Amino acid sequence: MEPAVLGGKLASGLITPLLKKLFVPAAPGAGLVDRPVRLSSLVSFKGEKRTLTEKDVHKLAAHLVARAVDSPGEAPFPPDEQTAVADALARRLLALGDLDMDDVQAVRLGHRELARKLEYGAPAPAGLSTDARYFLGNATEWACLQILEFFTRRSTFVARTLVEQTRTQAELIARIDELMARSPRPGSQDRTFERRYLPYVAERHNHITIYGIDLRDSPDRWPLEVAYLSLEATATEEHHLPDEHPGASFTVQLPADEALSTHDRVLLRGDAGSGKTTLVQWLAVTAARDGDRIPYVLPLRTLIRAGQLPSPAAFLSSTDCPHTPPEGWTERVLTAGRALVLVDGLDEIPSADRHRTRDWLLSLIRAFPGNRWLLTSRPTAVRPDWLAGEGFRELTLAPMRRPEVKTFVERWHTAAQAPEYEGPLLDSLRTKRDLARLATNPLMCGLICALHRERRGYLPTGRKELYDAALTMLLARRDLERGMRSLGEVELGEEAQRELLQRLAYALVLSGRTEMGLGSAEDIVDRCLPTVASAAGQGDAETVLRRLLLRSGLLRQPAEGVMDFVHRTFQDYLGARYAVEEGHLDVLTSHADDTQWEDMIRLAVAHARPRERARLLRRLLSRNTPRLTLLALACLEHATTLDPGTRAAVESQAAALIPPRTAEEAKTLVEAGPLVLELLPGPEGLTDEEAKNVTVTASRLGAEEPEGSLTVLRRFRGHPHIDVRRQLAGTWDRFDTAEYAAEVLDHLERTELFLTCKSAEHRSAIARMRPWHCLSFLGPHQAEEILAAVPTPGTVTKLELRDNPLLTDVGALLGFDSLRELWLSYCPAEGLNQLSSLPLTHLSCNGVGDVTGLRVLPSIRRLTLTQELPGTELTDVLPVLSPLETLFLGRNSTDNTGLRGLRHWSGLRSLSLGPLATELTNADWQEVAALPELTHLHLNAGIIRNFPHSIHTMPELPGIEALSVNSMRTAEDLSALVPRLPGLRSLTLADDNGQPIPVDRYTGLFPDVEITVHES
C-alpha cells in the first residue's frame, strides 16, 4: 500500500492530533534559540517529565493501524497480523528518541529518509507476510511525513529557511488527500466490473431452451439448475504396452462437466440435441457462481455474422453483452490465466470459415497460455484429430442411459409443473422399445415430454405424431429458430430431406443392416436427386449427403467411410413411410417373422391408408401364429382409421392369448418376445390365476427387456394374492437388485411372504427396505453379515438358512429374539440347545452338523428332520419337553431309531414319513397307533414302492381321517391301506415330475373318500 493510498485511509485531519502526543507541548513565545533542539528532548516518552509511557505509544500505534484496516476498501494485509504490525510500528516510533539529530536536520532529511532511520533504529520485525511488511514501511513513511509537518508548525521552530519547505509539505499532503478521494485503488475497476459481469453470465445462461417445439401449454425453456443432469463423455486413448505386445486403444468414460478438470483444451463432439450447448451453459453458470474463472460464452453462429472473429477486447460486445468492461480488462484476465473460453457450435458455421476459426482460436491460445478452452461441434463437421496437434483432447457425448432418461423426465415435469404426466410417460418409455431408443438425448427427451403433455398423455397411442414432430424440429424448425443463416452450401427443404432420408432408410432395412458405406449412400442420393425438384442444381450427391450428415440431425458417421441413422427408430419410421408410398406391403408381410421388422410393420400401419391397413393386419392374422397375432394387436394403436370387422378380428384372435390363463399360455407369450410387454393387462379385471400368469410372463422377459418387464411387475406390487406376491418376490435375480427392491419388493404386503437373499447386493438392499418378517439366506453368509442386513432383527419371525458352510454356531442367531420358525439346511451348525431362549415353535433340520441340542428345546410344535439321528430312540434326540403337534421324518432320519419312543408326544396330530431308507416294522407302527390325537398321515410313495411289506405290517389306525400320498410315479397300489384306515375321509394324491395319476382307480378303492389330485 503506497503512502498516498494509505493517506486515503488516514486523512491528515485525524492522524495529526494522534502523532502530536509523541512530542512535548511547545513553550509560549517565539522560542528563538541559537541552536536547534535535539529530538530526544522533544519526545514525550523520555526524560524526567514524560507524559507517555512505552505502553501508551503501543496503544497509539495500534489505533493508527486499526484505522487503516477498518476503513472502506480492500484489507492491506491478513487480519491475523494486525497486532504484530502495530507492535512493529510502535517500536519504530519509539526509535525517534534515540536518533542523534535535531529537528532541523530531521526536516532536511525528508520523510522517506527519516522513516529509513527509524527502521534501522528499531528491531527488525519477524514472521510478517510480504503484504504486512509493505504496509509497515508505508505507514512509517506516512507517520514521518506528518511528524515533519508538525515540526515545521512548532512556534519554537526558528529556522526561517524552512518556511517554504513547510508550505510544500502541507500542499503535498493536501493534494494526496484530494487525489485519493477521487481516484480508486489500482485493480478496483476490474473487480467492480466482475461483480456485475459474473451474476449477469449466471443469470443469462441459467435456462435450457428447446428450439423447434411449437406446442401449446408446454414450456420451451426452464431453469438450468432444475433440469440439468450430468451426461457421460467418452474418449478413445492409446494404451502403450511393453515392446513384445502391440499397442491398443481403449475407451474411457467421464462426466462431461468434468471434461476440463484434467485437460485445459477440449474438443467436444456430439450429435444434434446431445447436450453440447447445455453443457456450455452449465460450465459458464458454474464458473460464474464459483468465481474461480471468468467465463466467456462465444457462440460461433453469432460471432461469424460480423465477418471478423473478435479480438479479446470485443468478446463481450460481439455477443451482445450489455456491460462495458474497463479498457484492457479481457486481456488482463487472459494474461493472468483466469479465463474459461467456451466456443460453441463449430458445425453451425460454413465449412470455409472453420479453418479461419481454428487459426483464430490457436492464435488466442498461443498469445494467452494457461487458460481453459472448450470447442463444441457435431461429429462430422471436422475430421478426427482436427486439433490434436495443438494439445486438444477429443471427447464425444455419450447417449443418455436409462437412469439419466428417468432423471431428465422427472426434472422436466417438475419444471413444467406437470407431475401427473410423469409416471405414465416413464411407464411408456419402459415398455415401448422404439420410444426408449428415441429418448437417448436431452433434445428428444424434451420433445417427448412436451408432446406427451400437450396431448394430455396421448403419446402411447399416437407415436407417429411424435416422429412427425421430431422430424419437423430436426429438419427445419430448430436451425431456423436458433437464428442460423445459410451455411453457404446446400439448402434443402424439409420434404426434400425426408425424401432423401427415407430412400437411405429403406435401403438399409432391405439389406438387414444399420450401417452403409458412404459410397453406397452417395449412389442412392445420386439416383434420387433428379426426382427432388428443390435439390436440383444445389450440388452433386457427395455435397448433398455431406449436408444431410452435418445438419439433418438424423445421420452420423460412426466410423470413417460409414454412415447410419442416429436412432434406429428413425430408420424404421422413414423406411416404413417409403415402403407404403411405393406399395411394398407384400415385402413387409414377407418379413413379418423377422423380429427386426416388427417396428417397420407397426409404423407402416400408421402411414398406410385404411384399406392398406386392413390388408396388412389380415395377412398377419392369416399366419395364425401367436407372435404375429400379437403383432397385429400391437398395430391397432397406430390404426386411427380401420374398418370395424378387421379390428374385431384382431381383438378376437388375440383374446385367446391375452391374458394368459395357464402356465403354458404364459410360456407361449414369452416365446413371442418383448412385444408382449406393452400388451399385458392388469391387474384390474384379472382373476388371481391370470394375474399370477401375467407376472410370470413379465418375469421371464426380464432378462431380455428388464425395463419393460419391471414396468409391468410394478403394476402388480399391491396385489393381495399370495401366489402373485410370491412370484414378484421370487424373480428378484432377473433385475437390478437395488432398483427392483425399491420399485417392487418394498411395496409388497409381507404376510406369509419370504424374501430370499443370495448375495451381498441382496443384503444391502434388504437393509434399506422396511422390515421383512420372513427371510431366507441362501449360500455362504457370515452370521454377522446376516444380522447387519437386518437393522431390526426383532421383527423377523421366520428365518431360513440354506447351503451355508460359514454358519457353525447357531448362537449367532440369538439376535433374532422374536424368531418363531427356523429352517436350517446343509449348515455345519452346532449348539442347537442355545435356541432354547427363543420362542421357536417350528424347526427344520436338514444336513445340520449336530442335532443333539434338540432335546432341550421347550416350545417346538412343528419339527422337520431330514438327516440321520443319533441314539436308539426318538426320545434320545427329539425335544422331549416340547408339545409336538406336527412331525416330519425324512430320508435316513429313522435309520438308527425307527419310530421307537414316538408315543411320548401324545399330542401329535400330523405325522409325515418321507422317502425313508429303512423299512418300518410292526413295532414302529404300534408307536403310531399309540398316538390318540393323530388324524393326518402323510406317506411318500417311495415307501409303498420300495417297502411294500411296511404297509402290510401297519395295524389298523382308526383315528386317521386324512391321508396324503406324494411323489407318485406309477399307479402305486394303495389297496393295502383301505382296511387299515377305516376312518379315512379325504385322500390327497400328488405326482412326481408330471406323471399322470389314474384317479378312477383310486375312486374305486376309496368310494366314500374325497379325493384331491395335485399334478405338477
The pLDDT tens digits of the residues spanning 715-753 come to 999 999 999 999 999 999 899 999 999 999 999 999 999
The chain-wide mean pLDDT, for the chain, equals 83
Mean pLDDT of 541-554: 82
Classify the C-alpha dihedral 511-514-517-519 as positive or negative.
Answer: positive
What is the percent of the chain where pLDDT is above 70?
A: 83
pLDDT at 211: 47
Q: By the 8 A CB rule, do 64 and 139 touch?
A: yes
pLDDT in tens, 783-807: 999 999 999 999 999 999 999 999 9
| Top-confidence residue, 387 or 171 | 387
Q: Is the pLDDT of residue 10 over 70?
A: no
Count Cβ neighbours within 10 Å for each residue of 841-860 and write b for 16 or more, e otherwise: bbbbbbebbbbebbbebebb
What is 903-915 written as a DSSP string?
GG-TT--EEEE-S
Three-state secondary structure along 152-202? HHCCCCCCHHHHHHHHHHHHHHHHHHHHHHHCCCCCHHHHHHHHHHHHHHH
Task: Provide the pLDDT confidence category of residue 463 given band limits of 50, 70 and 90.
Answer: low
| 55 confidence band (pLDDT: 50, 70, 90) | confident
Residue 136 has pLDDT above 90, yes or no: no
Residue 240: predicted pLDDT: 44
pLDDT above 90 for 713: yes
- Within 10 angstroms of residue 382's Cβ, the number of other Cβ atoms is 20
Contacts from 609-612 at CB under 8 Å and sequence distance 24+?
610/641, 610/642, 610/643, 612/580, 612/585
Closest listed residue to residue 858, CA positions, set 831, 876, 840, 843: 840
- Report the distance separating Cα 933 and Cα 433, nearest Å: 61
pLDDT band at 246 (very low <50, low <70, confident <90, very high): very low
311: confidence class by pLDDT, cuts 50, 70, 90: very high
Q: How much is the average pLDDT of 130-148?
A: 81
Q: What is the pLDDT of residue 760?
A: 94
The answer to whether residue 873 scores a pLDDT higher than 90 is yes
Which residues are CB-neighbours of 97 under 8 A, at least 6 positions away? 39, 40, 43, 45, 46
Render pLDDT for 581-604 as a digit per residue (tens, 0 to 9): 999 989 999 988 888 888 889 889
Q: Which whole number is the average pLDDT over 402-429?
A: 85
Which range among 279-283, 383-387, 757-761 has the greatest average pLDDT?
A: 757-761
Rounded CA-CA distance 62/69 in Å is: 11
3-state secondary structure of 43: strand
The pLDDT score that the predictor gives to residue 999 is 86
| pLDDT, tens digit, 9 for 90 and up, residues 810-843 | 998 999 999 999 999 999 999 999 999 999 999 9
The three-state secondary structure class of 218 is: coil
Mean pLDDT of 914-932: 94
Q: Is the pLDDT of residue 243 over 50?
A: no
pLDDT of amino acid 5: 47
Q: What is the pTM of this model?
A: 0.62
Helices (H), 71-182: 82-94, 103-109, 111-121, 130-153, 163-182
